[in-house]
Structure 1
């Protein structure tokens, strides 16, 4: 198979670049804005529609293979021909690949610009992030717009070529495929050379495997469903399409700038034999500017297998509640382009505005909307390495791992002269599509409490894939780190996911006395664990369920939903009452690090969850014995119990030097990121004493490395999601250290796959270098990067201090003002201070 890349070709002479770093074509690497991602998202909409362009090993869009999130190549080729006829393959004498200029991204767009002699070329990949728009979010399609603009004031001969192969499907590698072409929903048999007047027609390639294995995947790719690749003539003088051998079609195109008028052959087979492709060509003739748009998608129907009281049901995708069929969805998605553009622009502007609001600054963050403006590299610190003269008097010695620290006071300044707000925007904008591309919405079964009675009504269920780790469905300890994104963007999404946990547990499908780990061992099968054989994380998941449920209520104000599931939450609390204070040997969410006895961070999670449970108990009256079938009354969690547990936790989990929390109880040489106290601050629970926040903030600055703070004292690796949870609990200088160090890692890491959350804080910022280390890619836990913006939804900003309780370590002298409320509703539109009812303020005496 030919290398899959966007190959922009023209007749021109090479020009000498002054840059010192070049891609595989010999061109200078582009300027990146707002940062250089390890991989740039191209089409990222679902766990199966996930296409990226790696920047690893100096890769660019037109010098390397676009990849699936696993790193395997995808077949999606583009050629723009300017003023020339190509003579032969593979050598193209007198022709050069276009030179990359810029790569800019925001939360929905990735825009690439190229210089091609007398024209500029832009390839704009658009996967809209609209968390509050259920119908548009449920569409498993992504846009690509390619434009050519003359730079010399003269018209030029312009042709666009694009093809895809069958590698998008699991069976595409070596199995036979069915290729069929549709126009306006009707099958057509041959390429009939449309004209520019056919602007109302949408041509759709429909690619399917001959043998379908419904609701199964191989190597993380679907064994069922359809690939849909669509376009319109877009005003081209000549528009053609054809399927056939990759070598034949590409050879014919570069010789004739068109495709032969042949039937679409459904007998071509997989990519590992005689590679079959399907190609579109738009020939515009002599023009000063031209634009072509495509949409690409993977469409599965049904999408999820789900265990219900009526048996195992095959759930339909949510888009079917909004659109009549696949072809009407494709057509309406095509026609909706400009409206969706506007909505995505508004959403990203709001994201940038919210970042500024958190930091209480006014400077706007540029958004790479079309047309892309070439960024000024001199003002974009992310585009190049920081000059050494800006580092004095800070240390930067990558050989020993220490970077950017003031040796006199260890304030952990992170990257000097970098804007924290710009750095944070670069992180969250890159993370947004990755989170949204990890889950799907499904129409609930008729027996579900979220039943849909008619198209467009009701609520979906959300199913998230634990991408690149276990492949589980709706893993609670993956939803938990991702929760800040949902709480910030749309708390209802969190409810749609948690509802599946409650339905399976309340349906009698889980035998254990603690909270289940996930709703299915392998996506897309959410068939539960009837034998209770899921990965056991009892304290972790019981605490996660309580905290996320309470957080959803606080951000939505939906107390009815909380009351409905109170008995199940009470069961989780019963387990925590017995085991959270001294959790013994258990796994935490960081299961790659193994089981550990009495983890300090795990213990405080359970205690914070118990505090949340004590507040929830005031919303749900305790049932009397006659209320139902002899069921046990929900457990009662008192403030006094929680305070007693907390005092013991401090005595077990704080170092004798009282300057940091231990990794595990009484392990005096250990330390770790105490990220679980974030929910104490987020929900204003007030259980963690302010001196603990201050202590940890100072400690992180002392143990930081080049790319941030290690996860714990055993290794140099860290997790970016937990770092930003910890950052949200720290003083401004330490928070800045975390944020700018992660942004600095983005620009310098050698990882070349979709954003990882687990990497080395020293050296080249690569994947963990320990035996049996895991390699995480494209995981939804990067939703944790929105930890600061979730705080904004509660009225907290960069100047807000954590831990408004009084007292000192161990003694907690004085009044413990918890300042809690039983009124939800953080998640109102916009940002800034939100009204909080403090009429039911809790005050308890400390000891």
Structure 2
């Protein structure tokens, strides 16, 4: 428990200084950390609801920060306690209305659980968006669960009702939007409301959609097509009622009478205080405990517009191949709850075990596979093991002055160190557990068109195409330099997801829809329109994207053993490699993935990416039955790398430069992570050692800046850099990010770009972009991707030797590096590691 005291110090201090939030609620405790926003229903780029405050002091927000109407109330003995949203705060003061008192917030990779006290009962609201990367059917269902429970705290039964409503802002929003809505019973439309005493498993669904939908269009990142579905069943309630109408009137009637009337308001009122809402009431009567469940979903069919050999196709969602129609999916998703809880519990347990395996520690607290929300995993404050046993524990004393920007310093040499007395595994868990839903919520899954190589009719194996939105930056589709930092999550959780995301890029280039000699930047400029760039006018990042395409493709092969897929696309990859052969050693003025920083001549980090990609294409060309010679030899790669060291390392030989021969500059050399991950053997051990020693000399309060030009940093690249460093430097990175997570002034979903000084807020980058909710937090799984290769905390950077996974077409896991371990992930994918598809 001591392990997290200091990490939570910033939050605790804030609570002492400000006893109440803006809604007058006391601050709850948070486990395993206090993020700026907590995920609620996060499934797709359009179903993305978060809590940016205490749950009942403000309405939930869309990832942009715009408000979503979602209200939850529990009425106990005639007193209504609001636990979700602040919809009842528009009412006049009523003696029968009270805001429930927040007590605790806990999250893991699947759940966000909020507990409240409400008079004589305790309320728990459990938001569940399953993260099951190998289960394509369950993953593709754009639905999320909310389960609310009431437990008597005085041991006596109480008269209990549950109320919940949503508004129409989940799709288009705006006062001028016009919606059409219905209420359904078991998939059949009904035209009256009121009390209903049918079977406990009767499914009720409110649905609404734009009266004039515009498929594949957005307004403020919100879709202008699709149907929002809010569903529930009576369960153990003896009475269920439902109603739509004016928000003020309907909520007032409920609080004063605990009933909903037989009335459907057909006049849309807009999204003000008098907006239309869609409500349910469950009446349990006198009980000591009770539970209700809701599901919320945003269902779009078609889901993506895609340029293929047959023209522009409107692709159907993948869930249709699993569930059929919308109402079948809603019903099956509901019935699946217990099973999916068990699956999520197993996945969460595996995540915790894998973190323990990487850090070579064991938490003695037993874990249960009971399918219940996991509120306190073993790597959070209730853990019974003490951080003093960890090999990475900082030796005190240390220096820290909160008035400066330097963070925690070693008093002997004044270099940065990890947050003292804080467990690095606990810190890492807090980061990746928060990141998981954010990654998965950036994608949709589609049935390929008949001409697609992924289609069952043409390939003999049905597989989806996966489409990612570049959330909060350019809004592009499957941007390669956004997929690239995300890859550690795919490689750790399910490498096939990387293939599904890369396939549209390959199909567009190989279909003749891209004229340039390098890899395309993205599959389409505006999500969800994956219509390529026929004129070749995508964002110009040729070295960056060509290197990304080659390295990600090789990584997929190394982690899957699917050499057939690699051979299929070798010509396209070789084309990118040919460009890199000419331009990567001295890349001139180009954009890198950090394009917000602008162009820069001869970026050291960009050049090494190209050189690593050349090594990858050389290895691909040596595979058995390779379709051709990549034209890149070991001698070329060695020559390029030798020149790279001459140009890119400071004359003092203590750090690499941001750009060749710019001796006063430096930057995070995160791209060498792929050298270690894939054991490419290009980067010298001395470079790893040098960088590991350098980063603590330039660290700030919340980590290491991205480069010497600014104080801002990126969390994904920090973890990539951490994975290439010695244990003490790695701990500095990991615990500093967790420390930022608990103290940052940012207020939206996990920001990957932030200031390392001051209040850790959003930086003022040239285009004023605020990065939030982006899938690049998949890069936080970089340590776990290393574990997938057999590398653990004891495998110091630069010590790996031999071959990783597959060598010259051999499909066997034969990594023989220093600190080699039998990876617990070796058989995790249902077949032996390295087996070809």
1:230 to 2:205 alignment: no
CA distance in 2, matches of 1:414, 1:717: 19
Instruction: Kindly state the Cα deviation for residue 200 of structure 1 after the two structures are TM-superposed.
Output: 2.1
Cα deviation per residue 1:514-551 (whole Å; 9 max; x = unaligned)?
00000000000000000000001100000000000000
Equivalent residue, structure 2, for 1:347:
347
1:463 to 2:467 alignment: yes
CA distance in 2, matches of 1:429, 1:448: 35
Equivalent residue, structure 2, for 1:184:
186
1:132 to 2:134 alignment: yes
The counterpart of 2:600, out of the listed 596, 603, 608, is: 596
Equivalent residue, structure 2, for 1:279:
279
Instruction: Kindly state the Cα deviation for residue 472 of structure 1 after the two structures are TM-superposed.
Output: 0.2
TM-score between both structures, scaled by the size of structure 1: 0.89
Secondary structure, counterpart of 1:170 in structure 2: coil
Instruction: Kindly state the Cα deviation for residue 116 of structure 1 after the two structures are TM-superposed.
Output: 1.2
Q: Structure 1 residues 37 and 549, CA, compared in 2 at 3 Å: closer, same or farther?
A: same
Secondary structure, counterpart of 2:639 in structure 1: helix
Equivalent residue, structure 2, for 1:405:
409
TM-score between both structures, scaled by the size of structure 2: 0.90
1:831 to 2:825 alignment: yes
1:607 to 2:608 alignment: no
Equivalent residue, structure 1, for 2:12:
none
Equivalent residue, structure 1, for 2:199:
198
Instruction: Kindly state the Cα deviation for residue 77 of structure 1 after the two structures are TM-superposed.
Output: 0.8
1:537 to 2:541 alignment: yes
The counterpart of 2:74, out of the listed 76, 80, 105, is: 80
C-alpha contact 1:321 1:456 (8 A) present in aligned 2: no
C-alpha contact 1:721 1:782 (8 A) present in aligned 2: yes
Equivalent residue, structure 1, for 2:217:
216
1:243-322 alignment runs, 5 A limit? 243-262=244-263, 264-272=264-272, 274-322=274-322
Instruction: Kindly state the Cα deviation for residue 821 of structure 1 after the two structures are TM-superposed.
Output: 2.1
Equivalent residue, structure 2, for 1:384:
none
Secondary structure, counterpart of 2:719 in structure 1: helix
Instruction: Kindly state the Cα deviation for residue 464 of structure 1 after the two structures are TM-superposed.
Output: 0.3
Equivalent residue, structure 2, for 1:8:
none
1:170 to 2:165 alignment: no
Cα deviation per residue 1:620-655 (whole Å; 9 max; x = unaligned)?
6566xxxxxxxxx75411001000000000000000
CA distance in 2, matches of 1:379, 1:524: 41
1:198-597 alignment runs, 5 A limit? 198-262=199-263, 264-272=264-272, 274-363=274-363, 370=372, 379=381, 393-410=397-414, 412-453=416-457, 458-597=462-601
Equivalent residue, structure 2, for 1:756:
751
Equivalent residue, structure 1, for 2:386:
none
Instruction: Kindly state the Cα deviation for residue 206 of structure 1 after the two structures are TM-superposed.
Output: 1.1
Q: Structure 1 residues 408 and 123, CA, compared in 2 at 3 Å: closer, same or farther?
A: same
CA distance in 2, matches of 1:77, 1:455: 47
Secondary structure, counterpart of 2:146 in structure 1: strand
Q: Structure 1 residues 426 and 442, CA, compared in 2 at 3 Å: closer, same or farther?
A: same
Cα deviation per residue 1:465-492 (whole Å; 9 max; x = unaligned)?
0000000000000000000000000000
Cα deviation per residue 1:597-622 (whole Å; 9 max; x = unaligned)?
00000000000110011100012656
RMSD of aligned Cα (Å): 2.7
Instruction: Kindly state the Cα deviation for residue 285 of structure 1 after the two structures are TM-superposed.
Output: 1.2
Cα deviation per residue 1:768-793 (whole Å; 9 max; x = unaligned)?
14554321010000000000000000
Cα deviation per residue 1:31-69 (whole Å; 9 max; x = unaligned)?
100111110000000000000001xxxx20011221000
Equivalent residue, structure 2, for 1:791:
786
Q: Structure 1 residues 379 and 777, CA, compared in 2 at 3 Å: closer, same or farther?
A: closer
Instruction: Kindly state the Cα deviation for residue 369 of structure 1 after the two structures are TM-superposed.
Output: 7.4
Equivalent residue, structure 2, for 1:48:
46
CA distance in 1, matches of 2:162, 2:273: 27
CA distance in 2, matches of 1:249, 1:133: 40
C-alpha contact 1:567 1:634 (8 A) present in aligned 2: no
Cα deviation per residue 1:274-314 (whole Å; 9 max; x = unaligned)?
40011001111111001000000000100000001110000
Equivalent residue, structure 2, for 1:663:
658
Listed as ranges, the gaps of 5+ residues in structure 1 are 1-16, 382-389, 624-632, 807-815, 838-847
Q: Structure 1 residues 338 and 173, CA, compared in 2 at 3 Å: closer, same or farther?
A: farther
CA distance in 2, matches of 1:818, 1:25: 54
Instruction: Kindly state the Cα deviation for residue 26 of structure 1 after the two structures are TM-superposed.
Output: 3.2
CA distance in 2, matches of 1:160, 1:456: 50
Equivalent residue, structure 1, for 2:727:
732
Cα deviation per residue 1:228-271 (whole Å; 9 max; x = unaligned)?
00000122122100010001110100010010122x23332421
CA distance in 1, matches of 2:742, 2:655: 31
Equivalent residue, structure 1, for 2:36:
38
Instruction: Kindly state the Cα deviation for residue 709 of structure 1 after the two structures are TM-superposed.
Output: 0.4
CA distance in 1, matches of 2:231, 2:789: 43
1:821 to 2:807 alignment: yes
Equivalent residue, structure 2, for 1:682:
677
CA distance in 1, matches of 2:301, 2:458: 18
CA distance in 2, matches of 1:274, 1:157: 30
Secondary structure, counterpart of 1:354 in structure 2: helix
C-alpha contact 2:216 2:528 (8 A) present in aligned 1: yes
CA distance in 2, matches of 1:419, 1:444: 45
1:47-126 alignment runs, 5 A limit? 47-54=45-52, 59-85=53-79, 89-93=91-95, 95-126=97-128
Instruction: Kindly state the Cα deviation for residue 371 of structure 1 after the two structures are TM-superposed.
Output: 6.1
Instruction: Kindly state the Cα deviation for residue 829 of structure 1 after the two structures are TM-superposed.
Output: 9.1
Q: Structure 1 residues 738 and 335, CA, compared in 2 at 3 Å: closer, same or farther?
A: same
CA distance in 1, matches of 2:568, 2:380: 56
CA distance in 1, matches of 2:600, 2:363: 46
The counterpart of 2:693, out of the listed 690, 695, 698, is: 698
Q: Structure 1 residues 240 and 825, CA, compared in 2 at 3 Å: closer, same or farther?
A: farther
Secondary structure, counterpart of 1:640 in structure 2: helix
CA distance in 2, matches of 1:273, 1:615: 62
C-alpha contact 2:246 2:265 (8 A) present in aligned 1: no
| More deviation, 569-578/407-416 | 407-416
C-alpha contact 1:793 1:826 (8 A) present in aligned 2: no
Instruction: Kindly state the Cα deviation for residue 392 of structure 1 after the two structures are TM-superposed.
Output: 6.3
| More deviation, 355-364/512-521 | 355-364
Secondary structure, counterpart of 1:402 in structure 2: coil
| More deviation, 784-793/253-262 | 253-262
Secondary structure, counterpart of 2:103 in structure 1: strand
C-alpha contact 1:268 1:274 (8 A) present in aligned 2: no
CA distance in 1, matches of 2:501, 2:569: 14
Instruction: Kindly state the Cα deviation for residue 372 of structure 1 after the two structures are TM-superposed.
Output: 6.8
Instruction: Kindly state the Cα deviation for residue 455 of structure 1 after the two structures are TM-superposed.
Output: 15
Secondary structure, counterpart of 1:182 in structure 2: strand
C-alpha contact 2:173 2:271 (8 A) present in aligned 1: no
Q: How many residues align?
A: 789
C-alpha contact 1:795 1:833 (8 A) present in aligned 2: no
Secondary structure, counterpart of 1:64 in structure 2: coil
CA distance in 2, matches of 1:375, 1:64: 28
C-alpha contact 1:680 1:688 (8 A) present in aligned 2: yes
Secondary structure, counterpart of 2:573 in structure 1: helix
Equivalent residue, structure 2, for 1:804:
799
Cα deviation per residue 1:190-221 (whole Å; 9 max; x = unaligned)?
114122x5112100111111011011111111
Secondary structure, counterpart of 1:322 in structure 2: helix
C-alpha contact 1:174 1:272 (8 A) present in aligned 2: no
